[in-house]
Amino acid sequence: MAEKAQKQETDEKAPSGGDEGKYLLKTPKGTRDYNPKQMAIREKVFNTITNSFKRHAAETIDTPVFELKETLMGKYGEDSKLIYDLKDQGGELLSLRYDLTVPFARYLAMNKITNIKRYHIAKVYRRDNPAMTRGRYREFYQCDFDVAGQYDPMIPDAECLKIIYEILTELDLGNFQIKVNDRRILDGMFSVCGVPDDKFRTVCSSVDKLDKMLWAEVKTEMVKEKGLPESVADMIGEYVSKKGGLELAEKLLEDPKLSMSEPALAGLKDIKLLFGYLQLFKITDKVVFDLSLARGLDYYTGAIFEAVLTGDGSGSAGQDINVGSVSGGGRYDGLVGMFDPKGRNVPCVGFSIGIERIFSIVEQKTDAKGVKVRTTETQVMIASAQKNLLEERLKLTAELWDAGIKAEVMYKENPKLLSQLQHCEETGIPLVAILGEQELRDGIVKLRDVANREEVDISRANLVEEIKKRISQS
């Protein structure tokens, strides 16, 4: 199936001309190039995210794109099969990173760091079945923010949610919801419902499907495939339908069954504490305690969260519902200890923003609005209407570069004035400095405003200052 999909894609992307071609002109399956327009949008999105991370006092680190294979082994459960291995060319066995969390834990253990607040924006790799139209790729960016260190409970967790809230608000992606749960509440719930210990994981993965499947289907899977008694499944169904906030945590703390479980109690107390902080941060309008949230990865130990876009009401009915997860995270207090030679743990909490889907949305929105995206920042074009002025154009251009002005000149000996002006209109260059024999003799330059076509004579000595003035006003 995967191979078939690949074949189709290959066929689609192959050069369509009659000629066979010497090369298969494509990027690898599940990957893509970014063109200048996409890069301009990407830069804008990254700036918003980075600014928020910096506002929250984070440092940044970087790690290699590949790790020793053994570093990644045993961290991702089932998903390990999606890891890209490098060919054994003699030397170490290497794999491309699957996420930024495991390299972060390796970094902490290796450098014996016990507290840090860091962000990391980089590409990760998964040999998944790509669905590129929905923003799912094999090579994609993650933007991770994590807090490592022993602190008073739930304060860093609350800050993580605050940052997700800020970023999704600033990116203006329409409505969103941040779901919160706790791994210990899930485990406690399974326990009091009578799920055998060795089935926690598999039942958890059924629960995880509730964002895409109806309860009836999930129940069937639990009973038919996973062998749970129907009564147990029904009891789980009762719990996982619950959504709320602080008051739900308080209510469940009194729940006769759930309160029998130590882990569940600890989780519920933390959720209650968390919602207290979220109230101070004024973000409870978008955060919901949702007992059906069950994130797959092995390494979570406490709070877990996931942000989903819920549409902005502008799309068709179908598109509005569950556009999908754009961020996820949680607490993983045991991961660093897996790397430390003495098993010393460093408590961690963090999240990752899956940026590809966000790019797609921002790209679509930009196109829909008909906004023209500039891909350069050029402020002025140095042009001439007459022939044989290449040297004078180059000289003036260099003067402007040296003054820190973003300037462009055509690589032609005798370009037409019209084509120089057209280039400005096409690429959004706001000013043109026009040179001619007469201007050179008079020591002036004609400065043209591309938008309103007004031209004024400026003395060569005042040109830099005038351009800077015009730019700062626009």
* Interface of this chain with a second copy, residues 199 to 218, rule: CB under 8 A: none
Binding range to a second copy, per CB under 8 A, among 26-34, 320-328, 437-445, 466-474: 26-34
* Residue 141 assigned as binding residue: no
| Residue whose CB is less far from a second copy, 106 or 295 | 106
Q: Within a 10 A sphere around the Cβ of 455, how many other Cβ atoms?
A: 12
Expressed in angstroms, the distance from the first to the final Cα of the chain is 54
Quote the tokens at residue 176.
Answer: 């969103």
Instruction: Give the nearest distance from C-beta 67 to a second copy in angstroms.
Output: 7
- Ligand-binding annotation for 310, yes or no, is no
183 binds a second copy (CB under 8 A): no
Q: Choose between 122 and 288: whose C-beta lies nearer to a second copy.
A: 122
Among 63, 129, 284, 366, binds a second copy (CB under 8 A): 63
* Stretch of residues binding a second copy (CB under 8 A), selected from 180-188, 237-245, 359-367, 375-383: 375-383
Dist CA 41 CA 61 (whole Å)? 23
The answer to whether 211 is a known ligand-binding residue is no
Residues near a second copy (CB under 8 A), total: 102
Q: Which is nearer to a second copy, 116 or 180 (CB)?
A: 116
Q: Which of 8, 47, 77, 88 binds a second copy (CB under 8 A)?
A: 88
- Candidate residues 47, 62, 251, 425; the one interacting with a second copy per rule CB under 8 A: 62
Q: State the minimum distance, in angstroms, from the CB of residue 413 to a second copy.
A: 5
Q: Which position among 8, 36, 214, 314 is part of the footprint of a second copy (CB under 8 A)?
A: 36
If the CB atoms of residues 23 and 473 are measured against a second copy, the closer one turns out to be 23
Q: Does 1 bind a second copy (CB under 8 A)?
A: no
Q: How far apart are CA 78 and CA 81, in angstroms?
A: 7
CB of 7 to a second copy, least distance (A): 10
Nearest to 389, CA basis, from 451, 446, 454: 446
Q: How many other C-beta atoms are found inside a 10 Å radius of the C-beta of residue 205?
A: 15
Q: What is the dihedral of CA 53, 59, 60, 61, to 10 degrees?
A: -150
The rounded distance, in Å, linking the Cα atoms of 216 and 239 is 14
Contact residue for a second copy among 41, 48, 49, 71 (CB under 8 A)? 71
Beta-carbon contacts of 218 under 8 Å, excluding residues fewer than 6 positions away, are 206, 207, 209, 210
Residue 363 found at the interface with a second copy (CB under 8 A): no
Q: Does 131 bind a second copy (CB under 8 A)?
A: no
Cα dihedral 338, 333, 78, 80 in deg (nearest 10): -50
CB 133 to a second copy: min, Å: 18
Using the minimum distance from each CB to a second copy, give the nearer residue, 94 or 293.
Answer: 94
| DSSP secondary structure code for residue 462 in this structure | G
The smaller minimum CB distance to a second copy, of residues 198 and 391, is found at: 391
DSSP structure string for 94-110: EEE-S-SHHHHHHHHHH
Q: Which stretch binds a second copy (CB under 8 A): 188-196, 223-231, 240-248, 407-415?
A: 407-415
Nearest to 135 by CA among 360, 316, 463, 322: 360
**Binding residue for a second copy, selected from 11, 197, 198, 377, defined by CB under 8 A:** 377
CB of residue 98 to a second copy, shortest distance in Å = 14
Smallest gap from Cβ 108 to a second copy, in A, equals 10
SS3 291: coil
Tracing tokens 């800077």 back to the chain, one arrives at 468
Site for a second copy (CB under 8 A): which residue of 54, 134, 212, 251? 54
Does 342 contact a second copy by CB under 8 A? yes
374 carries a ligand binding annotation:
no
Question: Which residues does 458 contact at the CB level (< 8 Å), separation at least 6?
Answer: 444, 445, 446, 447, 466
User: Is 99 flagged in the annotation as binding?
Assistant: yes
- What tokens does 430 get? 């706001």
Per-residue mark of binding to a second copy, 239-278 (x: CB under 8 A): -------------------------------------xx-
Q: How many CA atoms lie within 13 A of 72 on its CB side?
A: 25
- According to the annotation, is 138 in a ligand binding site? no
Question: Do the beta carbons of residue 405 and residue 379 sit within 8 Å?
Answer: yes
Instruction: Say which residues have a Cβ less than 8 Å from residue 296's Cβ, sequence separation at least 6.
Output: 77, 78, 79, 204, 205, 208
Site string for a second copy, 94-123 (x = CB under 8 A): x-x---------xx-xxx----x-x----x
Q: What are the distances in angstroms from CA 98 to CA 66, 221, 296, 356?
A: 9, 29, 14, 15
What is the distance between the alpha carbons of residues 324 and 135, in angstroms, rounded to a whole number? 10
Closest CB to a second copy among residues 125, 176: 125
**Which of 1, 4, 12, 25 touches a second copy by CB under 8 A?**
25
Q: Which residues are annotated as a binding site?
A: 99-101, 126, 142, 146, 295, 299-300
Q: Which residues are annotated as a binding site for L-histidine?
A: 99-101, 126, 142, 146, 295, 299-300
